[in-house]
Amino acid sequence: MAIIKADKLGVSVAKGPSLMTGAVPKNDWWDVPATFKPGNYAYPAKKEIIEYHTQKTFPSHPGLFGQPRDWDPESDDWNLPEGWEKIILNGLKERLDKFRSLKIFMDCCVRCGACADKCHFFLGTGDPKNMPVLRAELLRSVYRNDFTLGGKILGKMAGGRPMTFGVLKEWFMYFYQCTECRRCSVFCPYGIDTAEITMIGRELLHLVGVNINWIMEPAANSNRTGNHMGLQPHTFKDNIVYLCDDIEEITGIRVEPTFNRKGAEVLFITPSADVFAEPGIYTAMGYLLLFHHIGLDYTWSTYASEGGNFGLFTNNEMMKKLNGKMYAEAKRLGVKWILGGECGHMWRVLHQYMDTMNGPADFLQVPTSPITGTRFDNAASTKMVHISEFTADLIKHGKVKLDPKRNDHRTVTWHDSCNTARAMGLLDEPRYVMQNVCNNFHEMPENTIRESTFCCGSGTGLNTDEIMELRMRAGLPRANAVKYVRDRHAVDTLACVCAIDRATLTSLMNYWNPDVNVCGLSELVGNALVMEGEKERETGLRFEPLAGMEG
Amino acid sequence: MLLAELLVDRKGEILDSWVDQVLTTYPEDGSRFFKKEKDQFANPVGYTVKSSLWAVYALLFEKNEPEGIVACLHQMVRIRAVQTFNPSEAVSMAYILKRVVKDFSRKDNVADLEGWHAFEEKADILAYTLFDLYAASRERLYQTRVAEIKSGNQMITDAGCPSKLMDEIVPKAELKTINV
Ligand code: SF4
Ligand code: SF4
């Protein structure tokens, strides 16, 4: 056997024989330094935001977010705390002990390369460090160096490398070029979830105060007012009332939702973007119409006024706290169960992590639809049902009157949002609803939908405008599949059930396929709903003329 | 041999070399994948570059329909305009083509001045079109950014407190009290 030079061995960890068909990097990847330039990084959190989290969100967890400070990713001095390397290594040790999955993910990758070409960031950039196998290797190399016997003795020869400032920069660069979408995990024969490696990477970065504002400020707002937008109760309520005014103008029906009403049967929670930002507001109008149509005994909460949970992008403690708020509100109001709107990561937190953090929610009842009597045993532990499951069940039982022709002015395709599709298996319910509310529907190609869906490219708190170029290249595989159905079938509407997607796909389409609009599924439901006593509809919920009404 | 003949006779080789060199502008590990994977959805970059260059070549040197090239190039330039290239690298395809064709004509001893003038002219049309599309794509990128900021999705940060903003937008008298 040829003797491999020691300095090459560290590289050969990613060069080993390929068991699968995928590609693994052949280059000396860790010799290429991460360089920050305007446009390739998201802005760091403002000092006062970290101060807020330290003092108000987690006074009981000093150090969770490092020292509040100003720092500049482009500078060579990040103003890191004394002994920051030790802080990271201790943090890693603590997490290896706490999360068995992390230890397994660190140990069991065989570098087969099956995941390598499955990440949209790699497909859009060609940067090998965006291959999931290498993204994980950024952390794994440090793990190997300090936590495995081979690494401790052989160091680089065994694929280990010490925690240095260069490594920290790579982490900040590439753990924020992963949207935790889990597409790679679908193709990994060992089920390694690189998204969870990114999550731990980000947690560790937080310990030394390396973070981004687009995540930390909405998280602070959520802690303070209950939602990302920082809306106070009166504003939250007023916005919904404005939407009711629009509904009245379009349908002639006055919808009267209630707020913070104790004793309602159901608490409805949705992302605040549905209440405040386009095109989410049209989706919210769809919810309002649907609940009025079926006479649901429900309430909105102006405190649990956010389904989104930026804790998922931050650390376990934050995720737990923000998730807990929804349940605290359900308890306070004395509802029986929770109905959840079109959100992505709220559902990921619910399905993957809620039970171990805050569950089971035994003070609530197993959700049962008061209209159809269906018991949602799949939500027996979390007591929270997705609006698409709920709507599909209503349609299945013939409890809603629909006129799909009212969406004839649109030709629609369906984007499976990563979190609802891959993390909770919500694949067929939205399609069933879609079939019933619109006539012109075309699927995107098979390897870009369902479990293999491509991310919008801007999830996990990367939907900030200073990295627009990065987002556009990460979203290329998604946009490319939309382009295909647009060219073939004249698709002009991209529907989904995720608030972040609705915002980010809007920009993605604006750049790649400018004639394609983005909407939520419930907006299409709202258009199709035939309300009792309504006037003839001339426009859809965004005041766009219906087919045949263009004149 | 005339250059126009060479461009037709050796089309396949010239295009292979052209596509290969354009894809070599990516990091080595990425470019290897972009060159290999054939599925257009699993490999949008490689597929788009290849199909665009083939289509453009046919329009310029076989069908002589230069006006059609905009549609063939648009998606490729959109891609290059958001990747980490300098502008000159992003739209270097025309120069790369000149280099490739020069190499082939040298090998085949093509000395056809007339033919070179005609070729240069078409390659220049390609270069100008790429430049225009690149500028348009960057413009689109900035418009996208502005549109996002205006949409309200950006209200989360930097805009101050949205509740206060709403207070300013909505006359005080219209605000109703909440019965909690
Ligand atoms: S989770 Fe998604 S973004 Fe992250 S490495 Fe895997 S495929 Fe890429
Ligand atoms: S993470 Fe899984 S798919 Fe990727 S290289 Fe390792 S074992 Fe293979």
Alpha carbon distance A121, A240 (integer Å): 37
Buried b (16+ CB within 10 A) or exposed e, A402-426: bebebbebbbbbbbbbbbbbbbbeb
Residue A434 in contact with ligand 2 by CB distance below 6 A: no
Please tell me which residue, A161 or B154, carries the higher pLDDT value.
A161
Chain B residues with CB inside 8 Å of A506's CB? 148, 151, 153
pLDDT at A26: 58
Among A154, A184, A211, where does a domain finish?
A211
A62 pLDDT more than 60: yes
Residues of chain A contacting residue B176, judged by C-beta atoms under 8 Å apart: 237-238, 241
Q: What is the mean pLDDT of residues B95-121?
A: 95
Give yes or no: residues A298 and A424 share one domain. yes
Give the orientation angle of helix A476-489 with respect to helix B44-57, to 10 degrees.
Answer: 50
Q: And the tokens for A104?
A: 């397994």
Closest Cα in chain A to B43: A123
What does the alpha-carbon distance between residue A5 and residue A3 come to, in Å, rounded to a whole number? 6
CA atoms of A95 and A102, how far apart (whole Å): 8
Q: For residues A120 and A257, state if they share a domain.
A: no
Ranges of H-type helices in A77-127: 84-98, 100-108, 120-125
Mutate to test the interface with A, among B149, B157, B164, B177 (most CBs of A within 10 A): B157
pLDDT at A24: 58
Does the residue A545 lie in any domain? no
Measure in Å the smallest separation between the Cα of A148 and chain B Cα atoms.
29
How close does chain B come to A496, measured CA to CA in Å? Answer: 17
**Residue A117 in contact with partner chain B when CB distance is under 8 A:** yes
> Is there a cis peptide before residue A68, judged by omega within 30 degrees of 0?
no
Whether A157 and A232 map to the same domain: the answer is no
Looking at the fold, whether A225 and A203 belong to one and the same domain comes out as no
Residue A123 in contact with partner chain B when CB distance is under 8 A: yes
**C-alpha A199 to ligand 2 mean position (Å):** 17
A240 and A355 share one domain? yes
Q: What gap in Å lies between CA A444 and CA A357, rounded to an integer?
A: 36
For the stretch A197-244, pLDDT in tens is 999 999 999 999 999 999 999 999 999 999 998 999 999 999 999 999
* Bridge partner residues of A520 (DSSP): A496
Q: What pLDDT shows up at residue B1?
A: 85
Percent of chain A with pLDDT over 90: 90
Q: From CA A412, how far away is CA A516, in angstroms rounded?
A: 9
Across the range A161-179, mean pLDDT stands at: 97
Mean pLDDT of A380-402: 97
Q: What is the DSSP letter of A309?
A: -
Q: In the prediction, which pLDDT does A8 show?
A: 38
**Average pLDDT over every residue of A81-100:** 97
Residue B28 C-alpha, separation from nearest chain A C-alpha, in angstroms: 7
Q: What's the whole-number mean pLDDT along residues A243-254?
A: 97
pLDDT of residue A154: 85
Q: Which atom of ligand 1 is nearest to the CA of A180?
A: 1
A203 with A260, same domain? no
Give the DSSP letter string of A326-368. HHHHHHHHT-SEEEE-S-SHHHHIIIIIIHHHT---TTSPPPB
> How high does pLDDT run on average in chain B?
87
For residue B173, what pLDDT band results from cuts at 50, 70 and 90? very low
Ligand 1 contacts CB of residue A119 (under 6 A): yes
How much distance in Å is there from the Cα of A21 to the middle of ligand 2? 11
What confidence tens digit (pLDDT) does each residue in B36-67 have? 999 999 999 999 999 999 999 999 999 999 99
pLDDT of residue A549: 81
B141 → closest Cβ in A27, A463, A511: A511
* Total number of residues shown for chain A: 551
Q: Average per-residue pLDDT in chain A?
A: 93
Ligand 2 near A106 CB (within 6 A): no
For ligand 2, atom 5, which residue shows the shortest CA distance? A111
Residue A7 has pLDDT above 50, yes or no: no
Quote the minimal CA–CA distance from A399 to chain B in Å.
32
Does the CB atom of residue A179 touch ligand 1 within 6 A? yes
Least CB-CB distance to B30: which of A128, A241, A503?
A128
Best residue of A260, A473, A504 to probe chain B, by most B CBs closer than 10 Å: A473
Tell whether the model's pLDDT for residue B176 goes beyond 70. Answer: no
CA separation for the pair A511, A529 (Å, rounded): 32
CATH number at residue B52: 1.10.490
Does ligand 1 have an atom closer than 6 angstroms to the CB of A194?
Answer: yes
Q: Please tell me if the CB atom of residue A507 comes closer than 6 angstroms to any atom of ligand 1.
A: no
Q: What pLDDT shows up at residue A27?
A: 58
Residue A113 domain-assigned (yes or no): yes
CA–CA separation, B41 and B19 (whole Å)? 18
Does A395 lie in the same domain as A338?
A: yes
Whether residue A45 sits in one domain with residue A75: yes
Helix, strand or coil, per DSSP, at residue A300: strand
Distance CA A28, CA A432 (A): 49
A402 plus A358 within the same structural domain? yes
User: Between A521-528 and A387-396, two packed helices, what is the crossing angle to 10 degrees?
Assistant: 30
Instruction: Please answer whether residues A547 and A493 qualify as being in contact, where contact means their C-beta atoms are separated by less than 8 angstroms.
Output: no
Q: Calculate mean pLDDT across residues A532-542.
A: 96
CA-nearest residue, atom 4 of ligand 1:
A178
Amino acid at the residue A33:
P
More confident: A4 or A248: A248
Nearest CA to ligand 2 atom 3: A188
Q: Is A110 in the pocket of ligand 2 (CB under 6 A)?
A: yes
**Distance, CA A10 to ligand 2 centroid (Å)?**
18
Residues A326 and A388 in one domain: yes
A372 assigned to some structural domain: yes
Q: Among B51, B19, B73, B40, which Cα is nearest to A479's?
A: B40
Percentage of residues in chain B having pLDDT higher than 70: 84
Cα–Cα distance measured from residue A42 to residue A53, given in angstroms and rounded to the nearest whole number: 19
- Distances in whole angstroms, Cα of residue A8 to Cα of each of A27, A147, A154: 10, 21, 13
Q: Region A544-548: what's the mean pLDDT?
A: 93
The string of DSSP codes covering B138-155 is: HHHHHHHHHHHHHTTGGG
pLDDT tens-digit map of A397-419: 999 999 999 999 999 999 999 99
Task: Give me the domain span that covers residue B93.
Answer: 3-179
Average pLDDT rounded to a whole number, residues B81-91: 95
Q: 10 Å Cβ neighbour count for A90?
A: 13
Lowest mean pLDDT among A11-20, A37-46, A341-350, B38-47: A11-20
A195 lines ligand 1 (CB under 6 A): yes
CA A233 to chain B, closest CA, distance in angstroms equals 8
Q: Are residues A189 and A237 in the same domain?
A: no
Q: Is the pLDDT reported for residue B6 higher than 80?
A: yes
Once rounded to an integer, what is the mean pLDDT over residues A523-532?
A: 98
- Residue B26, pLDDT above cutoff 80: yes
| Residue range of the domain that includes A242 | 219-528
Residues in A closer than 8 angstroms to B74, CB to CB, are none
> How many domains does chain B fold into?
1
User: Taking CB atoms and an 8 Å limit, are A511 and B34 in contact across chains?
Assistant: no
Identify residue A319 by its one-letter amino acid code: M
If pLDDT is split at 50, 70 and 90, which confidence band does B111 have? confident
Shortest-distance atom of ligand 2 to CA A110: 7
Is residue A190 lining ligand 2, measured as CB closer than 6 Å? yes
Residue A456 lies in a domain: yes
Same domain, A171 and A280: no
Query: Is residue B155 scored above 90 in pLDDT?
Result: no
Binned at pLDDT 50, 70 and 90, residue A155 comes out as: confident
Over residues A152-173, the mean pLDDT reads 92
Nearest ligand to the C-alpha atom of residue A110:
2
| Residue A322 tokens, joined | 């923000």
What pLDDT digit, counting tens, does each position of A323-373 carry?
999 999 999 999 999 999 999 999 999 999 999 999 899 999 999 999 999
- From CA A240, how far away is CA A268, in angstroms rounded? 13
- Its ipTM equals 0.92
- Paired residues of A414 in beta bridges: A495
Taking CA atoms only, the protein residue closest to ligand 1 atom 6 is: A184
A-chain residues within 8 Å CB-CB of B141? Answer: 468-469, 472, 511
Task: Among A148, A177, A211, give the residue marking a domain's end.
Answer: A211
pLDDT value for B169: 47
Q: How far is the CA of A178 from the centre of ligand 1 (A)?
A: 5
Q: Is B156 close to A23, i.e. CB distance below 8 A?
A: no
Identify the bridge partners of residue A299 per DSSP, sorted by sequence position.
Answer: A267
* Lowest-pLDDT choice from A16-20, A117-121, A386-390: A16-20
What is the count of structural domains for chain A? 2
Residue A129's pLDDT is what? Answer: 95
